[in-house]
């Protein structure tokens, strides 16, 4: 069931989104060669709590996971696309790190992700990161009242495919706001004019996930998803509100 948000709720979500964005900025700065991903997790936790918010991923039970999520953020390295668990792994030159954050503020939820190059990386992978980020904003540009989810997915998918990379179609965005994940499913592909019609009050997480290799993934026992061929991957995400005046990115 889709639950629309009121203007007051969207304003509160934007406050939470600003907290998320500020935390993300600090954690990205700390993501350097030699840094353990579990350090980034604890840093994010401290920063979120310091701002009177809560990490919404900790303890979250998703439908496809065997147990509640045991960390505060997701740290997905290289071929791990999403839901990577923080650990004692030390980042090294040439890695690409996907950081995914969820924040609960005044009982409302925001979600955002970024891909971070660690030190110097291969030109093709730097291009993958830039193209994936741009595809997210192309999708956001279609998140207008009267458009459809298909318009968002079409804009993202066609740009990625024309750029020579692959969209991981089995991983999707989602509704967000009253919970970590809500209806509707937000596909990263689609037909113009197809799917759910967008209306004011709908809040969604748009999140393209891409790879330089095959577009298939497999799920590991810890719940994380990896590319089936071990190819490097990228992921960007923002929480977006559809309003009568156009899309508002709540996690800036």
Averaged over 8-19, what is the pLDDT? 98
Identify which of 20, 1, 43, 185 has the alpha carbon closest to the alpha carbon of residue 104.
20
For the stretch 19-34, pLDDT in tens is 999 999 999 999 999 9
pLDDT band at 6 (very low <50, low <70, confident <90, very high): very high
pLDDT band at 65 (very low <50, low <70, confident <90, very high): low
pLDDT band at 62 (very low <50, low <70, confident <90, very high): confident
Tokens 């891909």 correspond to what residue? 115
**Helix 7-30, helix 37-50: angle, nearest 10:** 140
Dihedral angle sign, alpha carbons of residues 30, 31, 35, 37: positive
Q: What is the pLDDT of residue 117?
A: 98
pLDDT(72) > 90: yes
Q: Which class in CATH covers the domain with range 7-249?
A: alpha beta
For the stretch 73-115, pLDDT in tens is 999 999 999 999 999 999 999 999 999 999 999 999 999 999 9
**Separation CA 139–CA 195 (nearest Å):** 14
Averaged over 9-24, what is the pLDDT? 98
Mean pLDDT of the chain: 96
pLDDT(2) > 70: yes
In sequence order, what are the residues at sequence separation of 6 or more whose Cβ sits closer than 8 angstroms to the Cβ of residue 59? 68, 69, 70
Q: What is the pLDDT of residue 171?
A: 97
Identify which of 247, 237, 239 has the alpha carbon closest to the alpha carbon of residue 182.
239
**Separation CA 116–CA 97 (nearest Å):** 5
Query: Would you say 64 and 223 are in contact if contact means Cβ atoms under 8 Å apart?
Result: yes
φ and ψ at residue 98, rounded to 5 degrees: -100, 120
Identify which of 143, 97, 110, 106 has the alpha carbon closest to the alpha carbon of residue 20.
110
In sequence order, what are the residues at sequence separation of 6 or more whose Cβ sits closer than 8 angstroms to the Cβ of residue 78? 95, 96, 232, 233
């Amino acid at each position: 069931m889709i639950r629309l948000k009121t203007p007051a709720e969207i304003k509160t979500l934007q406050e939470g989104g600003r907290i998320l964005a500020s935390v993300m900025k600090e954690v990205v700065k700390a993501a350097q060669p030699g840094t353990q991903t579990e350090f980034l997790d604890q840093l994010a936790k401290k920063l979120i709590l310091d701002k009177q918010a809560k990490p919404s991923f900790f303890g979250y039970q998703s439908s496809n996971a065997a147990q509640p999520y045991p960390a505060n953020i997701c740290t997905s390295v290289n071929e791990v696309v999403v839901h990577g668990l923080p650990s004692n792994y030390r980042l090294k030159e040439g890695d690409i790190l996907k950081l995914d954050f969820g924040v609960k503020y005044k009982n409302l939820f925001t979600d955002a992700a970024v891909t971070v190059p660690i030190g110097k990386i291969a030109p093709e992978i730097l291009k993958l990161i830039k193209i994936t980020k741009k595809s997210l904003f192309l999708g956001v540009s279609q998140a207008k009242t009267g458009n459809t989810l298909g318009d968002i997915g079409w804009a993202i998918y066609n740009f990625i495919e024309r750029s020579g990379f692959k969209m991981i179609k089995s991983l999707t965005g989602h509704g967000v706001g009253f919970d970590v994940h809500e209806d509707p499913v937000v596909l990263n592909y689609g037909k113009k004019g197809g799917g759910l019609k967008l209306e004011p009050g709908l809040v969604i997480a748009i999140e393209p996930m891409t790879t330089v290799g095959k577009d298939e993934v497999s799920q590991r026992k810890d719940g994380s998803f990896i590319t089936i061929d071990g190819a490097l991957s990228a992921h960007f995400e923002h929480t977006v509100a559809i309003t009568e005046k156009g899309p508002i990115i709540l996690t800036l």
